[in-house]
Amino acid sequence: MYGVSSVVGIEGGYKGFYSKNTVALTPKSVNDIHKRGGTVLGTSGGGHDTAKIVDCLQDRGINQVYIIGGDGTQKGASVIYEEVRRRGLKCSVVGVPKTIDNDIAVIDKSFGFDTAVEEAQRAINAAHVEAESAENGIGVVKLMGRNSGFIAMYATLASRDVDCCLIPESPFYLEGKGGLLEFVERRLKDNGHMVIVVAEGAGQDLIARSMNFVDTQDASGNKLLLDVGLWLSQKIKDHFKKKPSFPITLKYIDPTYMIRAVRSNASDNVYCTLLAHSALHGAMAGYTGFTVAPVNGRHAYIPFYVSRRPNAVEHTAS
């Protein structure tokens, strides 16, 4: 349609701009990539050297760059766009939201979210079967969600088997009246089993205090998370050890990377195609410095400075 002569892919995330060669992307080479999980180009944490990245774009004569990823990746795209504009280069910088966490502001949802929620159901179903089959059975499932609890919340609503959902946006406590342990004990007495879903970013302040842990960061500058699922499971076990007449059976399931690695479902396949079309048409129309995604059901071009704000579950106290 647009007479594009060459399309290349950058391997290995942002580092790939200046540490690896480009890969030619042809209709034949990308013909069936939608049938696989993961990424054919690879990914990496950190490595965002803005000057080197823009040098690469300039040296290779790239006039359109499409940057696919989540909240952190879109922030990086925004910085690249500013540097491209500062140098006066004729290069469109376009962001395509792809994160299962759904943590990009303004947009209706990000690519991968539907698939993640659907796959999370398998883990929750397994936890429910295990819990229901044992005396005072407890199934604990940890799902992805560093700062946003959308996967955990939507999977909980879809499942109908979850008794308690813990997300980063809603603080909780363990001990005392109204605490989580009191709720677990009451639920087991009433129902004989229960399922707890916890987002990976929930309760991090509680764990850090209990372990005297000092915050550290990964290569991308994100706070390293402690395993809230293991910690919570152990706290529940310790609580019931003090009650010999109240034995429990607890099973902990962590499907996070299994969920991230599966192939996209039909809904996400269609959504991905629409995102790609919108991104391409926007760049070809001369727009730059935007993320493409639906807002209130209509595909829109959202300036990077708007989409850089984090997205989170709105918590309203009852």
Distance CA 167, CA 153 (A): 8
Count the Cβ atoms, other than its own, within 10 Å of residue 60.
12
Distance CA 139, CA 129 (A): 9
Catalytic residue among 55, 59, 71, 101: 101
Distance CA 33, CA 35 (A): 5
**What strands, in cross-sheet order, belong to the sheet with 164-166?**
164-166, 193-199, 137-143, 249-253
For the record, the structure tokens of 246 come out as 């109240």
The DSSP code for 88 is: T
Burial 106-145 (b: 16+ CB within 10 A, else e): bbebbbbbbbbbbbbeebbebbbbbbeebebbbbbbbbbb
101 is catalytic: yes
Could you tell me which residues are beta bridge partners of residue 300?
293
The DSSP code for 170 is: S
243 near 136, Cβ under 8 Å?
Answer: no
124 near 161, Cβ under 8 Å?
Answer: yes
Residues with a catalytic annotation lie at 101
